[in-house]
Amino acid sequence: MSEQQEKPVVTRRAGWLTAVIMIAFGLFYAYDLFEAVSNVVGVPAQIAEFNRFLIENDVEPQPVPWAVLVANLLLPPIAYVAAWLLGRRRGVLMQVLLFALGLAVVAALSLTLTALV
pLDDT in tens, 82-103: 999 999 888 899 999 999 999 9
**Euclidean distance between the first and final Cα of the chain, in Å?**
74
User: Quick one: pLDDT at residue 1?
Assistant: 52
User: Quick one: pLDDT at residue 89?
Assistant: 87
State how far the Cα of 50 lies from the Cα of 64, in Å rounded to an integer.
11
Q: Where are the domains of the chain?
A: 15-116
Pair 94, 61: CB distance under 8 Å: no
State how far the Cα of 34 lies from the Cα of 49, in Å rounded to an integer.
23
Residues in the chain with pLDDT values less than 70: 1-14
Pair 74, 44: CB distance under 8 Å: no
User: Quick one: pLDDT at residue 94?
Assistant: 94
